[in-house]
Structure 1
Amino acid sequence: MHKLSAGSGYTYLTRQVAVHDSTERRQVGLASYYEEKGEAPGRWLGTGLPGLDLAVGDVVTEEQMKLLFGQGRHPRSDEPAAAAKGWGALGRAFPTFDATSLRQVMARAFSEHNTNQGLAWNAPIPAEERARIRTQVAREAFEQRHGRAPADEAELTQFLARASRPAQVPVAGFDLTFSPVKSVSTLWALATPEVARQVEAAHQDAVRATLAMLEREVAFTRVGKGGIRQVPVTGLVAAAFDHRDSRTGDPDLHTHVVVSNKVQSLPEEGGRWLTLDGRMLFKAKVMASEHYNTHLEAGLVQRLGVAFADRPGQEGKRPVREIDGIAPALLAAWSSRRQAIEARQRELAATFLTDHGRTPTTIESLALAQQANLETRPDKHEPRSEAEQRAA
């Protein structure tokens, strides 16, 4: 689960949707996209939808995502009848925040570096050079603030991490990713289309059941001075996007359920559009994962008669419930990317410490992880239809 930023934070989901000639708002089945390149469009979920004049299963359009998750407005406020029906703002607009000063200094330093090199101000800077500039700027900022040099590389790293935290951005929603264990995706990829549809159906049932559980248990908002009272809401508003593979093309059936931060209070509380109490959602991460896995396993046993068995997890982790009879070697082959990324990331972190005399900050560690990911993966495949993927 991670927070979805307002603005363009939603676009990583909509840009993967296949182009389709349908203009209907109602649900289009996954089967319609068997020959289409890209993913099926999203669909609306949640018992909070009636307050937005939407229904479960309605197709999610890019414009609706922009309005709700980008701007915090009614997802149908661009329609001709919107004004007459009162489809506009949903409570308060998303807040805005100023950038932190050190990040601004860093940005100027990067721009000046490019200008001095005769390059465009926003030209890409090699990772090693960016790290050198960041270290130099951080040392100067530390000395200016504390009147002394940092005691050691650890103190400099901590200062840089605190001072260069990203500017706050408003939270538009929360991305809950429902991904079955690897053996389920393997069965889905290798089975006949009829069996694959049963796997998809069990997965979707588990997603819906888990979302319903979250609505019952953790869907609240806060009202009163300082949000002193926690009160229930009409339900959640969510957009679900089904994906069939990983970034490298390995079979990876999973669904992103993007829960809106906008929720409607009950009639006795005025029926106002307020903010979801996201803390409750984060506390329920483990509960949601367990609920999904348990429901999925039960559904597959009932639909297909498969059996599940415990398999050893990674070091220090509990066993994983996988479908019995699917070779562990096949699962490992489709999971080898993670091992390669982690090994390369350790190498890059060691090199960084040698070159810069300090450990990387959290932001720099993320950059190294991205670098390791890029260096160890093959070229990203072009969008493929499900038919092409299954043939591969």
Structure 2
Amino acid sequence: MTAKGITAKGYHYYRRIIATGDGAQGSEPTVSSTVPGVPHGIWHGLAARALGLEGVVTEPQMRALSGLGKCIRTRRRSRPGSWALGASLRQAVKAAKLGPAVPRLSERSPLDQSIEQVLQEAAEQLCRPLTKAETGQLRHRTAALAFAAEYHRAPADGAELGRYLTARTGPQRRGRTGYDLTFASQELSLLFALGDPDTRRIVLGVLVQARSETVSWLDHPGFVIPA
């Protein structure tokens, strides 16, 4: 299993790929690289139930939770109740927050924006989050194109490109609003792609079991934080 942090801006990818499905659950397993079949995202876990979230993940919920750090269902419940008790709008909105506000950093540079667009388009084409190596390659490729456009020549070497990338991009720290857990290794994906229908069913069963056990663990000891 791999874990990748999700930023407040990164929820756009999950809104387009995870919250919008193009395949029905329970259908015949297919090779994902040739036949689309991504089911709708579904809410799981004790925290989701505590917040009143169930069923298919919607875009407003994704934006509220991953983009703003708020729960839209909680907000809908809290405002009328808070107002009925004489609370102000500011107090009602504050009651809907699930924790500290997502930090807002300085405006992104043009190169930052270009890199983000390239990474987002690549992830959408692959229908999965990019690996660290893929992200690095695309960042450097985009920076090299920007360097050539600005100086009308290619970078002399990797060091010059690195200095340019550092100078033209903003702070690298981004507030985390969640984590993307991926249970399928490359070997398991190949086994699914090359295997017969029985093999694919076994692979899917293993993935479902891994996901269920992980969510169960996260619901209990996984989220215990020492004071």
Residue identity in the other structure for 1:130: A
Among 155, 163, 175, the alignment partner of 1:170 is 175
- For the 8 Å contact 2:71–2:98, the answer to whether it is kept is yes
Alignment of 1:4 onto 2:6: yes
Question: Measured at CA, do residues 77 and 180 of structure 1 come closer, stay the same or move farther in structure 2, by a change above 3 Å?
Answer: same
- For the 8 Å contact 1:33–1:40, the answer to whether it is kept is no
Match of 2:21 in 1: 18
Question: Measured at CA, do residues 127 and 74 of structure 1 come closer, stay the same or move farther in structure 2, by a change above 3 Å?
Answer: closer
Match of 1:336 in 2: none
Question: Measured at CA, do residues 132 and 33 of structure 1 come closer, stay the same or move farther in structure 2, by a change above 3 Å?
Answer: same
**TM score, norm. by length of structure 2:** 0.57
In 2, the alpha carbon distance for the partners of 1:161 and 1:6 equals 23
Question: Measured at CA, do residues 62 and 19 of structure 1 come closer, stay the same or move farther in structure 2, by a change above 3 Å?
Answer: farther
Question: Measured at CA, do residues 164 and 18 of structure 1 come closer, stay the same or move farther in structure 2, by a change above 3 Å?
Answer: same
Alignment of 1:98 onto 2:99: no
Match of 1:31 in 2: 26
- For the 8 Å contact 1:52–1:75, the answer to whether it is kept is no
Residue identity in the other structure for 1:30: Q
In 2, the alpha carbon distance for the partners of 1:218 and 1:178 equals 17
Deviation per CA, 1:255-277: give whole Å up to 9, x if none: xxxxxxxxxxxxxxxxxxxxxxx
Question: Measured at CA, do residues 159 and 185 of structure 1 come closer, stay the same or move farther in structure 2, by a change above 3 Å?
Answer: closer
In 2, the alpha carbon distance for the partners of 1:191 and 1:155 equals 48
| Aligned-residue offset at 1:217 | 4.8
Among 203, 212, 217, the alignment partner of 1:208 is 212
| Aligned-residue offset at 1:59 | 2.1
Deviation per CA, 1:308-361: give whole Å up to 9, x if none: xxxxxxxxxxxxxxxxxxxxxxxxxxxxxxxxxxxxxxxxxxxxxxxxxxxxxx
Residue identity in the other structure for 1:182: E
Match of 2:40 in 1: 41
Match of 1:89 in 2: 97
- For the 8 Å contact 1:41–1:61, the answer to whether it is kept is no
Question: Measured at CA, do residues 191 and 82 of structure 1 come closer, stay the same or move farther in structure 2, by a change above 3 Å?
Answer: farther
Question: Measured at CA, do residues 215 and 42 of structure 1 come closer, stay the same or move farther in structure 2, by a change above 3 Å?
Answer: same
Residue identity in the other structure for 1:83: R
In 2, the alpha carbon distance for the partners of 1:159 and 1:127 equals 10
Residue identity in the other structure for 2:4: H
1:215-226 map, 5 Å: 215-221=219-225
Residue identity in the other structure for 2:68: Q
Between structures 1 and 2, the one with greater helix share? 2
**TM score, norm. by length of structure 1:** 0.36
| Aligned-residue offset at 1:172 | 1.5
Alignment gaps of 5+ in structure 1: 21-28, 108-125, 140-151, 222-229, 232-392
Between structures 1 and 2, the one with greater strand share? 1
Question: Measured at CA, do residues 195 and 30 of structure 1 come closer, stay the same or move farther in structure 2, by a change above 3 Å?
Answer: farther
Question: Measured at CA, do residues 78 and 185 of structure 1 come closer, stay the same or move farther in structure 2, by a change above 3 Å?
Answer: farther
Deviation per CA, 1:64-102: give whole Å up to 9, x if none: 1111011111142565x45246772223321211137xx
| Aligned-residue offset at 1:13 | 2.7
Structure possessing the higher radius of gyration over alpha carbons: 1
- For the 8 Å contact 2:143–2:165, the answer to whether it is kept is no
Question: Measured at CA, do residues 204 and 195 of structure 1 come closer, stay the same or move farther in structure 2, by a change above 3 Å?
Answer: same
Equivalent residue of 2:46, what SS?
A: coil
Question: Measured at CA, do residues 184 and 171 of structure 1 come closer, stay the same or move farther in structure 2, by a change above 3 Å?
Answer: closer
Residue identity in the other structure for 2:59: E
In 2, the alpha carbon distance for the partners of 1:184 and 1:132 equals 38
Alignment gaps of 5+ in structure 2: 83-94, 113-141
In 1, the alpha carbon distance for the partners of 2:97 and 2:63 equals 13
Q: Aligned-residue CA RMSD in angstroms?
A: 4.1
Structure with the bigger RCO (C-alpha within 8 Å, sep 6+) is 2
Alignment of 1:52 onto 2:68: no
The alignment-based identity, stated in percent, is: 22
Question: Measured at CA, do residues 196 and 161 of structure 1 come closer, stay the same or move farther in structure 2, by a change above 3 Å?
Answer: closer
- For the 8 Å contact 1:33–1:39, the answer to whether it is kept is no
| Aligned-residue offset at 1:44 | 1.7
- For the 8 Å contact 1:5–1:169, the answer to whether it is kept is yes
In 2, the alpha carbon distance for the partners of 1:82 and 1:89 equals 10
1:73-84 map, 5 Å: 73-77=70-74, 79=76, 81=77, 83-84=79-80
